[in-house]
Structure 1
């Protein structure tokens, strides 16, 4: 079983912190100058998990890294949507 399958199992079992930790290890272990698409996919996956647990700022950072590494990554759309959501949120509307 490869590491992405293990990470998917952790996600399925709602062990998000462990999955994020494994993704971080994978990102750090990816050799500089290696396949940018693989690293972009890892950043995108970690960003999706971070978004899911409410760490939106960190998720947007990962989406941005992924989109820089791979211009055809789905992270570009995710970053666009995250920015739209962040731009819509206005705490003053909820606290008159």
Structure 2
């Protein structure tokens, strides 16, 4: 997977060390802070200052190209709508990679 996105395969070694654990924990705290510790991950936040943040989206496959752009545009639109805070449901198709 790293090679597919143009990154050195040596980065995979980071998964087998605790050297970066404190940085990962700090990053995770910052990521969930806008939505609260009760939701977990994935979380997304948009905007500056006080971000609009929410849990999700949870996807059964990763979109690419224009499809990814349309998804992001929709997520930003929903998150900018006052009072919105979540979408939930069962998968529309089985997970695939």
TM-score (norm. length: structure 1): 0.22
Name the larger-Rg structure: 2
TM-score (norm. length: structure 2): 0.22
Q: More helix per residue: 1 or 2?
A: 1
